[in-house]
C-alpha cells in the first residue's frame, strides 16, 4: 500500500469565478499530514500560481538563520517593541510545542509549498499581512479587559506544557471543530478574533484575487477557508472590496488612552501635594511613602518572578515609583536594558532561541527571552502597583 495521503473534499475547496479557478487547501500548521498534502496537491493539480499564507518577514525568519543572529535586544527595548517581540515569541513557542512530538516545525507546510513550486517552476505569492502589524492591531483594538485577557493568555501559554495529540491537530481541519474554536475565540477575545481571523480573511482573499493566473492554489490554515471563499466571491461580484491600506495601518490610540499616561502622574502628584497641604509634612510624607513602597515592592516582585539579576531587583524597586510618574519611560525600559547589560546575550542564546522558547525553563535560561520576561514582569508589577497605590493616597486612607 502507498503511504501517500489522499486529498479529501473536507480540506480542498474549488471556486470558479468567471474564467478563473481558485483552489483552497486548508492545512493545520503543525501537521505532518498537511505537509504531505501540500506537496501532493501541487503535483496533482498543476496550478499556474500558488498563493501562500505567509509574509516576507516570516518567510525570512523560517529559512534564514541570520534573522535571529541579527536580533538586537537592546534596540527592541529602546524602541518600545518589547511586548511585540515577546508576543511573537510566545506565539511561536506555542506552535513549536504543538509540533515538537510530530517532528514538524510551524509553517513547514508553507515552506513545502514554496519549495515544491520552485522545483516545478510555478510562481508563488506571499499573501499574508505582516505578523507585526497583526499583533499591533490586535493589541490596539482590544479594550482594557481585552488587553488583560490577552496578557493572561500569553502568561498561561508560557507556563503551560500543553501538547495536542496528532488526531486532535488533524481534527482542526474539520469544519465542525473549526467553528467551535472560532466561536470560543470570538466569545473570549472578540477584538483579537476580528484582527487575527476576520481581517486576515479579507487580506488573504484580496491578495490572492489580485495574483496573476487562471488556476490558483491557495495554501492557508483551514480556519481561513470559509472567510476567504466569501471574500473572493464578494470581490469578484464587485459588491465590496477590502481596504488593504486600512488593514495595514495600526490605529492610533484614542484620546483616553493617550491621556492616561499623563493623567495618572498628575493625579498622584496632586494627591500627594494635597496631603502636604492638608496634613503637613508628616501626612504628606506618609502618602509619599505609601506610593513609593506599594509601587516599588510590586515592581520588585515582578523582577523576582522573572529571576532578574539581584542588582536589577533593587533598581526595579527604586525606579518604579519614579518611572510611573513619567509618561515617556517605564520601569520595564530601565529593567530590560539593565538586564541586557548585566547578563549580555551570548551567541549560544541566539542559536538556541527558537528551541529554548518551547519550555518555561528555556524561556528563563535563554538570556534573550529572559530579558523580555524581566521587561514584562517589572512593567506588569509597576502597573498593578500604580492602581493599588492610588486608593492609599486619597484623604482618609489608612
The CA distance from 220 to 224, in Å, is 7
**Poorest-pLDDT segment among 132-146, 155-169, 245-259, 342-356:** 155-169
pLDDT at 174: 52
> To 10 degrees, the CA torsion angle through 184, 187, 188, 192?
100
> Across the chain, how many H-helices and E-strands are there?
20, 5
Look at residue 296 and tell me whether its pLDDT is greater than 90. Answer: yes
Residue 40 CB coordination number (10 Å): 16
CA dihedral sign, ordered 221, 227, 232, 235: negative
Look at residue 317 and tell me whether its pLDDT is greater than 80. Answer: yes
pLDDT at 358: 73
Can you tell me which residue has the cell 493617550? 258
Each residue's pLDDT tens digit, 246-289: 999 987 777 777 777 788 888 888 888 887 888 788 877 888 88
DSSP symbol at 240: -
Which spans in 64-174 are helix H? 66-69, 73-78, 82-100, 108-119, 131-141, 144-159, 166-171
pLDDT at 215: 95
In angstroms, what is the C-alpha Rg of the chain? 25
List the grid coordinates of 314.
Answer: 533593587
Look at residue 178 and tell me whether its pLDDT is greater than 70. Answer: no
| 101 pLDDT tier (thresholds 50, 70, 90) | very low
Look at residue 350 and tell me whether its pLDDT is greater than 90. Answer: no
Check if the beta carbon of residue 220 is closer than 8 Å to that of residue 228. Answer: yes
The CA distance from 133 to 118, in Å, is 28
Q: Which helix (H) or strand (E) holds 374?
A: helix 367-389
pLDDT at 362: 85
Look at residue 4 and tell me whether its pLDDT is greater than 60. Answer: no
pLDDT at 56: 84
Closest CA to 388 of 252, 261, 297, 276: 297
Check if the beta carbon of residue 322 is closer than 8 Å to that of residue 314. Answer: no
The CA distance from 237 to 18, in Å, is 10
Look at residue 207 and tell me whether its pLDDT is greater than 60. Answer: yes
Mean pLDDT throughout 120-125?
94
Q: Which of residues 78 and 385 earns the better pLDDT score?
A: 385
Check if the beta carbon of residue 354 is closer than 8 Å to that of residue 96. Answer: yes
pLDDT at 1: 36
* Residue 396 φ/ψ, nearest 5 degrees: 90, -5
pLDDT at 349: 80
| Range with the largest mean pLDDT of 10-24, 47-61, 154-168, 297-311 | 297-311
Each residue's pLDDT tens digit, 211-239: 999 999 999 988 899 999 999 999 999 88
Q: Where are the domains of the chain?
A: 12-247, 255-393
Q: Judge residue 167's burial from the number of C-beta atoms within 10 Å of its C-beta, 0-12 exposed, 13-18 middle, 19 or more buried.
A: exposed
pLDDT at 360: 80
Sheet holding 20-27, edge to edge: 12-17, 20-27, 215-221, 49-52, 124-126
Check if the beta carbon of residue 220 is closer than 8 Å to that of residue 53. Answer: yes
| Range with the largest mean pLDDT of 58-72, 111-125, 191-205 | 111-125
Check if the beta carbon of residue 305 is closer than 8 Å to that of residue 297. Answer: no
List the grid coordinates of 126.
Answer: 506571499
pLDDT more than 70, % of the chain: 76
Which spans in 120-254 are helix H? 131-141, 144-159, 166-171, 175-188, 190-193, 200-210, 225-237, 244-247
Q: Judge residue 212's burial from the number of C-beta atoms within 10 Å of its C-beta, 0-12 exposed, 13-18 middle, 19 or more buried.
A: exposed
pLDDT at 165: 54
Average pLDDT across the chain, whole number: 80
**Poorest-pLDDT segment among 130-139, 201-210, 226-235, 371-380:** 130-139
Amino acid at each position: 500500500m502507498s503511504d501517500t495521503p489522499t486529498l479529501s473534499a473536507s480540506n480542498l475547496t474549488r471556486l470558479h469565478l468567471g474564467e478563473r479557478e481558485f483552489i483552497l487547501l486548508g492545512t493545520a500548521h503543525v501537521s505532518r499530514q498537511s505537509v504531505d498534502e501540500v506537496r501532493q496537491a501541487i503535483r496533482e493539480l498543476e496550478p499556474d500560481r500558488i498563493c501562500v499564507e505567509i509574509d516576507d518577514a516570516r518567510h525570512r525568519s523560517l529559512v534564514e538563520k541570520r534573522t535571529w543572529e541579527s536580533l538586537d535586544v537592546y534596540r527592541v527595548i529602546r524602541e518600545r517593541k518589547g511586548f511585540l517581540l515577546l508576543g511573537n515569541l510566545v506565539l511561536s513557542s506555542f506552535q513549536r510545542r504543538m509540533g515538537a512530538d510530530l517532528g514538524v516545525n510551524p509553517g513547514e507546510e508553507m515552506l513545502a509549498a514554496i519549495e515544491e513550486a520552485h522545483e516545478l517552476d510555478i510562481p508563488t505569492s506571499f499573501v499574508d499581512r505582516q505578523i507585526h502589524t497583526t499583533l499591533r492591531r490586535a493589541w490596539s483594538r482590544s479594550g482594557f479587559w481585552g488587553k488583560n485577557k490577552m496578557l493572561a493568555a500569553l502568561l498561561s501559554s508560557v507556563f503551560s506544557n500543553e501538547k495536542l495529540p496528532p488526531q486532535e491537530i488533524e481534527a482542526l481541519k474539520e469544519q465542525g471543530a473549526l467553528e467551535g474554536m472560532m466561536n470560543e475565540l470570538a466569545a473570549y477575545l472578540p477584538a483579537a478574533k476580528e484582527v487575527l481571523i476576520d481581517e486576515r480573511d479579507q487580506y488573504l482573499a484580496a491578495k490572492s484575487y489580485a495574483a496573476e493566473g487562471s488556476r490558483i492554489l491557495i495554501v492557508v490554515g483551514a480556519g481561513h477557508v470559509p472567510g476567504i471563499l466569501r471574500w473572493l466571491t464578494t470581490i469578484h461580484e464587485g459588491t465590496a472590496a477590502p481596504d488593504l491600506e486600512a488593514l495595514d495601518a495600526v490605529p492610533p490610540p484614542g484620546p483616553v488612552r493617550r491621556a492616561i499616561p499623563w493623567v495618572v502622574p498628575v493625579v498622584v502628584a496632586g494627591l500627594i501635594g494635597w496631603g502636604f497641604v492638608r496634613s503637613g509634612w508628616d501626612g504628606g510624607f506618609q502618602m509619599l511613602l505609601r506610593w513609593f513602597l506599594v509601587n516599588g515592592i510590586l515592581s520588585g516582585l515582578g523582577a523576582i518572578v522573572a529571576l532578574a539579576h539581584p542588582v536589577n531587583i533593587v533598581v526595579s524597586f527604586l525606579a518604579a515609583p519614579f518611572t510611573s510618574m513619567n509618561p515617556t519611560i517605564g520601569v520595564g525600559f530601565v529593567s530590560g536594558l539593565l538586564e541586557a547589560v548585566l547578563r549580555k546575550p551570548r551567541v549560544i542564546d541566539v542559536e538556541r532561541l527558537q528551541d529554548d522558547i518551547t519550555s518555561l525553563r528555556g524561556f528563563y535560561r535563554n538570556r534573550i527571552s529572559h530579558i523580555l520576561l524581566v521587561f514584562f514582569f517589572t512593567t506588569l508589577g509597576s502597573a498593578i502597583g500604580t492602581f493599588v497605590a492610588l486608593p492609599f493616597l486619597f484623604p482618609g486612607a489608612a
